[in-house]
Each structure stands twice: as structure tokens, then as C-alpha cells.
């Protein structure tokens, strides 16, 4: 593992050939890191050329490729991870600081960015020592609220309702937690984009957000680039909400025996099974999840069915973060139960 602030050596040529074409190397900022990329990533915040922490390079990868019959190939080693999708391309993460990409024929940068800024980036951040959750996070008056849940639970929708209420996005889909201070876990800001289904985007206005072109017809959610309502600073992780659909908005504290399994379940690396926790990472990952369970309140959040009622959940979260006294008992819309 390398320190998160240790950069790569400076690359002198920002123009270089690939497949007979000259690619421009662009610079971005995400997760507190400088990224130099051969792939255009308008989702990220642009940055001045500098010695990068992460290099994303287009080239040939000498590894087995997927086929139409076997659509994915994943390999995990202590010092490198290989993820390949037949319809997109191959991605090789090495040295906690480099991502090599071999695109599938005809695939453009917009489609490459979809796995690159999702599972590929999540695994790189994990290798750099961060705990990474498959979740969304919002900054509410200096407090960090994290939303975890199964597919369709409403993570991004709930986050968007809080953005509409005037709060700031920290990160969507990939939540990276810095545990340098074990008693004060911090949420590392990602980049100002959130993914929403068409009905959610129509129901929740995000102000100056820009809907980006659909990367692929099979990808249901649209990407919305925020212009404002984004926090570029780390925020303490104050609450973790595990979302479930319910009849009315409600918040219930999870007992400690349930909090740790929930965090492990929604940590990003566990999506790939035990193979992704090679070497000493399994023990480190368990310690990190335990630290979060011990120092961050974990709650069950019931989100009412129906987009017209998503504001009820947002108001409840604001109240919870303002009062901070739900360690014993439930909070339901309009009343507190004891």
C-alpha cells in the first residue's frame, strides 16, 4: 500500500499516439487526488497539469479478454487488479496509482468512463487504503450523511432531494472514507455528478444540473453534472442510513450487531467476493468496517414509495442531523416515538 499523497513521476509528453491517433492527456481532480487521463472525463473537475497521483493510460493489456459467451473476466492479485467487460473493454489497476485501459472496438470515452469512475476507481481507492462504500453522500450543515441500500432503494434519489433542499453533494455511487483519524472518519469528496432515473430526474429539479448524453442504451440512469451544490472539502461521516421502502418516512437506530454486517455488505470491494480481498486486505477491510460501525451512527431509513413523497425523507434526515439524539428510539414524520 502506498501513501495517498505520494504522486507518480511527472509525464513529460501530454500528447502521445495510440492506434494512429494523438490523444491529449487531460488533468482532473477527484477524491482529493490529481488525475492525468488519456480518457476525456468531463464528469470530473478540471485541474492544472501537475505531477499526478493517478495515471489513466490507453494502450494494450496482455491479459485474457472476455468473449460473448464469457462476458466478464476479473482477476485480483495483491499488487494489481484486472477487470474486463466484453462490451466495454479491459482495465488493469497497478501500483495503487495507474489504470491501463484497452477499449473494446468502437467504444468511446463516454462508455469507458462508466466502469472507470465506478468499480475501477473504487478498487483503486480501496488499494490506496480508503474504505469504499457503494453509496451516496451529502453534506448537511457540516455533517456527512451516507445512503446505502439495495438497487432501487433510492440512494441517489434521496441524495437529490437533499440537493434540491440546498445541501451539497459529496459523492455518488462511490463513497470513499478516510480513516486516518480512527475516531473521526471523514468522507472524501468525489466529483459533482449524480445518476438518476428519468422519472426521478423529472420529479426532482437540480437547478443548474446538466444532463449528459446517455452513454449506452442499456444504461437506464442518466448522468447529471452539477454546477454548484457540490462540496469539495472532506466532511465528517456523521450518519449512515440503510434505505428501505416503506409506507411512511421513518428512522430507526440499528443495533450494533446489525450495523457491522450492513457496512460490510455495502462496501464496494465485497461486490467482487473474497477474491478481491487478497493478501492482508481482508483483515484491514474488517478493521475498517468495524471502525465505522463503532464511530458512526448507523440507522434504518424508511423512504416512502412515490417520488411525490421523497421530501418527507429529506426533511426527516435534516431533523435527525440537527438533533443528533436518535441513539435510542425512532423518529417518524411529525413525532418521535419512545
Among 127, 153, 178, where does a domain finish? 127
* 303 and 169 within one domain: yes
Residue 324 pLDDT class (50, 70, 90 cuts): low
Cα separation of 55 and 10, whole Å? 10
> Are 238 and 317 within 8 A, CB to CB?
no
Query: Average pLDDT for residues 274-294, to the nearest whole number?
Result: 90
The pLDDT value recorded for residue 10 is 37
Given 104, 127, 150, the domain boundary residue is: 127
Say if residue 18's pLDDT is above 70.
no
> 116 with 203, same domain?
no
Residue 186 in any domain: the answer is yes
pTM of the model: 0.88
4 in a structural domain: no
Average pLDDT over residues 307-323: 91
- Per the structure block, which three cell numbers stand in for 266? 455495502
Mean pLDDT of 75-83: 93
Q: Check if the beta carbon of residue 50 is closer than 8 Å to that of residue 34.
A: yes
Structure confidence by residue, pLDDT tens digits, 241-282: 999 998 899 999 998 889 999 999 999 999 998 889 877 889
Q: What is the pLDDT of residue 35?
A: 98
Question: Does one domain contain both 176 and 114?
Answer: no
Determine how β-strand 210-211 pairs with β-strand 250-253. Answer: unpaired
Read off the pLDDT band of 329 (50, 70, 90): very low
Which of 127, 150, 184 is the last residue in one of the domains?
127
Q: Are residues 321 and 192 in the same domain?
A: yes
CATH code: domain of residue 304: 3.40.50
Give me 228's grid cell: 454548484
Give the tens place of pLDDT for each residue, 19-36. 545 689 999 999 999 999
Least confident of 49-53, 142-146, 150-154, 186-190: 150-154
pLDDT at 92: 98
Residues 161 and 295 grouped into a single domain:
yes
Give the number of domains in the chain. Answer: 2
* pLDDT grade for 305, boundaries at 50, 70 and 90: confident
Higher pLDDT, 97 or 308: 97
Of 79, 75, 76, 39, which Cα lies nearest the Cα of 55?
A: 39
Average pLDDT, the chain: 87
Supply the pLDDT for residue 322: 87
pLDDT in the model for residue 14: 54
The CA-atom distances, in angstroms, between 149 and each of 76, 146, 242 are 26, 10, 5
In the chain, the percentage of residues whose pLDDT exceeds 90 is 67
Average pLDDT, stretch 281-298? 93
Q: What is the pLDDT of residue 185?
A: 94
148-171 average pLDDT score: 92
Burial string for 63-85 (b: 16+ CB within 10 Å, else e) reads eeebeeeeeebbebeeebbbbbb
Cell of 106: 468502437
Partners of residue 337 on adjacent β-strands: 330
SS3 category, 71: coil
- Residue 121 and residue 216 in one domain: no
Same domain, 281 and 311: yes
pLDDT(104) > 90: yes
Percent of the chain with pLDDT over 70: 87
Rounded CA-CA distance 91/81 in Å is 8
Give rounded-to-5 percent helix, strand, coil for the chain: 25, 35, 40
Domain membership flag for residue 5: no
CA 316 to chain CA centroid, Å, is 24
> What are the start-end ranges of the H helices in the chain?
109-115, 121-127, 155-164, 198-203, 256-265, 281-295, 310-323
What pLDDT, in 10s, does the model give residues 180-230?
986 889 999 999 999 887 777 777 777 777 777 776 667 777 788 888 899
Cell of 95: 501500483
pLDDT at 338 over 70: no
Amino acid at each position: 500500500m502506498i501513501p495517498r499523497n505520494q504522486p507518480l513521476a511527472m509525464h513529460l509528453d501530454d500528447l502521445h499516439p495510440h492506434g494512429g491517433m494523438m490523444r491529449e492527456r487531460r488533468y482532473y481532480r477527484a477524491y482529493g487526488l490529481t488525475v492525468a487521463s488519456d480518457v476525456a472525463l468531463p464528469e470530473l473537475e478540471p485541474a492544472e497539469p501537475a505531477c499526478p497521483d493517478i495515471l489513466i493510460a490507453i494502450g494494450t493489456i496482455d491479459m485474457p479478454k472476455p468473449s460473448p459467451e464469457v462476458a466478464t473476466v476479473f482477476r485480483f492479485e495483491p499488487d494489481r487488479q484486472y477487470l474486463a467487460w466484453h462490451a466495454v473493454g479491459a482495465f488493469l489497476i497497478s501500483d495503487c496509482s495507474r489504470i491501463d485501459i484497452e477499449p473494446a472496438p468502437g467504444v468511446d470515452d463516454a462508455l469507458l468512463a462508466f466502469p472507470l469512475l465506478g468499480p475501477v476507481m473504487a478498487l483503486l481507492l480501496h488499494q490506496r487504503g480508503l474504505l469504499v462504500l457503494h453509496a451516496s453522500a451529502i453534506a448537511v450543515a457540516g455533517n456527512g450523511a451516507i445512503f446505502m441500500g439495495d438497487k432501487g432503494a433510492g440512494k441517489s434519489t434521496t441524495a437529490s432531494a437533499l440537493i434540491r433542499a440546498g445541501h451539497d453533494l459529496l459523492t455518488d455511487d462511490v463513497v470513499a472514507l478516510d480513516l486516518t483519524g480512527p475516531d473521526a472518519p471523514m468522507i472524501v469528496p468525489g466529483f459533482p455528478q449524480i445518476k438518476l432515473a428519468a422519472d426521478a430526474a423529472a420529479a426532482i429539479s437540480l437547478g443548474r444540473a446538466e444532463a449528459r448524453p446517455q452513454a449506452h442504451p442499456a444504461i437506464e440512469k442518466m448522468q447529471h453534472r452539477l454546477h454548484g451544490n457540490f462540496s469539495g472539502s472532506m466532511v465528517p461521516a456523521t450518519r449512515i442510513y440503510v434505505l428501505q421502502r416503506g409506507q411512511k418516512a421513518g428512522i430507526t437506530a440499528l443495533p450494533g450487531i446489525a450495523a457491522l454486517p450492513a457496512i460490510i455488505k455495502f462496501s464496494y470491494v465485497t461486490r467482487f467476493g473474497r477474491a478481491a480481498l487478497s493478501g492482508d486486505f481482508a483483515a484491514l477491510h474488517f478493521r475498517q468496517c468495524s471502525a465505522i460501525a463503532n464511530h458512526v451512527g448507523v440507522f434504518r431509513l424508511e423512504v416512502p414509495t412515490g417520488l411525490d413523497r421523497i421530501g418527507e425523507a429529506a426533511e426527516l434526515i435534516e431533523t435527525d442531523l440537527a438533533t443528533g439524539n436518535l441513539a435510542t428510539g425512532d423518529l417518524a414524520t411529525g413525532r418521535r416515538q419512545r
